[in-house]
């Protein structure tokens, strides 16, 4: 039987009870597969890798080595949350690497979106590889592969997570949630006790804020983007939009316009709000945001974020506009 095919008889995991049953089955399967060996996992803080980490900690505890690489392009508070949840609460065997300078130095003056993505993906593999080589007795690599990944890639999953590790590093894969759909992964994550903010986290591209700080990334503009994005998320949480909008974020282009602040002319960047709904990410519709909320967000961003003096709203559906700007 194809182990990459979801059995027709498999019940959709919708309840805590079904999730616990799945967790028990996987804990047994992982222990049987791994024995007393070590397992390596690149823990991004995304839904899939977080759920896999929590599941494996339950199954094999300290035999799991989690590596969290902070590439400096995370949203505000995300790396801190990974450390808080996994190291402090779940007592994970966690290696934290702040590689911000390495990534931002490599990205200096690079404005082409594809080149930026390649640099970020390539450098991630280099950093992860360096850490993996320091560990001598790891035989397994865990990945947060989920069922849509398998369907999309027809069983070949080179691009996902750390698919680009050098060929001389031979690992057997551990993929405990590979037959689950995204909504099921979230139910399992909640059953494992992960915080809702992590389990319900919206999709976030691998290159992170790198594809939302448009053009060549500078540290000051990246900082402004991170702060503006945090305000947008906070206000969407406060007014309930976070529960009805599939994806929402800020993009900051590499251009300035003139404004007025404290009675002086003031050049700053615009922050562009993107808020879309979609079922399959192939098409996307624009979510209506009440003007009262837009005014509040605009007021906070322009007053609280240094360097931003305008707030714009992107009203373009997909097709025509992709969800991300780059």
Domain ranges of the chain: 16-199, 212-313
| 317 pLDDT higher than 60 | yes
| 312 pLDDT higher than 50 | yes
24-45 confidence digits (pLDDT tens): 999 999 999 999 999 999 999 8
**212-313: CATH topology:** GMP Synthetase; Chain A, domain 3 (3.30.300)
Given pLDDT bands bounded at 50, 70 and 90, which one contains residue 262? confident
Encoded tokens for 214: 């448009």
Question: Three-state SS for 150?
Answer: helix
158-217 confidence digits (pLDDT tens): 444 445 555 666 789 999 999 999 999 999 999 999 999 899 888 788 899 999 999 999
On whether the CB atoms of residues 276 and 248 are closer than 8 A, the answer is: yes
Q: Please give the pLDDT value at position 155.
A: 44
Buried b (16+ CB within 10 A) or exposed e, 11-42: eebeeeebbeebbeebbeebeebbeeebbbbb
Mean pLDDT over each residue of the chain, to the nearest integer: 91
Measured CA to CA, the distance from residue 146 to residue 132 in angstroms comes to: 23
Given pLDDT bands bounded at 50, 70 and 90, which one contains residue 1? low
Q: Which residues contact 51 (CB under 8 A, 6 or more apart)?
A: 144, 177, 185, 186, 188, 189, 192, 194, 199
Measured CA to CA, the distance from residue 227 to residue 185 in angstroms comes to: 29
Q: Please give the pLDDT value at position 205.
A: 84
Q: Please give the pLDDT value at position 25.
A: 96
Measured CA to CA, the distance from residue 44 to residue 96 in angstroms comes to: 11
Classify domain 16-199 at the CATH superfamily level: HUPs (3.40.50.620)
Section 298-306 average pLDDT: 97
Section 263-272 average pLDDT: 93
| 127 pLDDT higher than 80 | yes
Least confident piece of the model among 1-10, 109-118, 129-138: 1-10
Least confident piece of the model among 10-14, 50-54, 189-193, 277-281: 277-281
Using a pLDDT cut of 70, give the percent of the chain over it. 94
Say how far residue 195 (Cα) sits from the centre of its chain. 15
| 156 pLDDT higher than 50 | no
Using a pLDDT cut of 90, give the percent of the chain over it. 77
Q: Please give the pLDDT value at position 159.
A: 41
Section 289-309 average pLDDT: 97
Say how far residue 219 (Cα) sits from the centre of its chain. 20
Q: What is the pTM of this model?
A: 0.87
What residues pair up with 265 in beta bridges, in sequence order?
260
Q: Please give the pLDDT value at position 206.
A: 83
Q: Please give the pLDDT value at position 4.
A: 83
Q: At what angle are helices 219-239 and 291-304 packed, to 10 degrees?
A: 150
69-100 confidence digits (pLDDT tens): 999 999 999 999 999 999 999 999 999 999 99
Residue identified by tokens 């690992």 is 171
């Amino acid at each position: 039987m194809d182990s990459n095919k979801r059995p027709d008889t498999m019940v959709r995991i919708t309840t805590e009870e079904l999730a616990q049953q799945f967790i028990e089955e996987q804990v047994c399967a992982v222990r049987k597969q791994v024995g007393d060996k070590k397992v390596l996992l690149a823990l991004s803080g995304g839904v899939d890798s977080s759920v896999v980490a929590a599941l494996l900690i339950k199954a094999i505890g300290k035999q799991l080595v989690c590596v969290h690489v902070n590439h400096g392009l995370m949203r505000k508070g995300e790396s801190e949350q990974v450390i808080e949840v996994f190291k402090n609460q779940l007592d994970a065997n966690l290696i934290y690497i702040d590689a911000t300078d390495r990534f931002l130095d490599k990205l200096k003056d690079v404005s082409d979106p594809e080149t930026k993505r390649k640099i970020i993906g390539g450098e991630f593999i280099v950093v992860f590889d360096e850490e993996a080589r320091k560990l001598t007795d790891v035989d397994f690599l865990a990945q947060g592969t989920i069922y849509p990944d398998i369907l999309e890639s027809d069983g070949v999953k080179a691009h996902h997570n750390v698919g680009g590790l050098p060929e001389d590093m031979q690992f057997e894969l551990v993929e405990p949630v590979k037959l689950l759909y995204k909504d099921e992964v979230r139910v399992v994550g909640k059953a494992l006790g992960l915080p809702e903010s992590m389990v319900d986290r919206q999709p976030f591209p691998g290159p992170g804020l790198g594809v939302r700080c448009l053009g060549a990334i500078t540290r000051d503009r990246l900082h402004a983007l991170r702060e503006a994005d945090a305000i947008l998320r906070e206000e969407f949480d406060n007014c309930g939009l976070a529960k009805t909008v599939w994806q929402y974020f800020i993009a900051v282009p590499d251009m300035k316009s003139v404004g007025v602040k404290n009675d002086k002319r003031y050049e700053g960047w615009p922050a562009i709000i993107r808020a879309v709904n979609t079922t399959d990410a192939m098409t996307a519709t624009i979510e209506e945001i009440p003007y009262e909320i837009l005014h509040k967000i605009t007021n906070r961003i322009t007053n609280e974020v240094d360097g931003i003096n305008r707030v714009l709203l992107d009203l373009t559906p997909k097709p025509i506009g992709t969800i991300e700007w780059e």
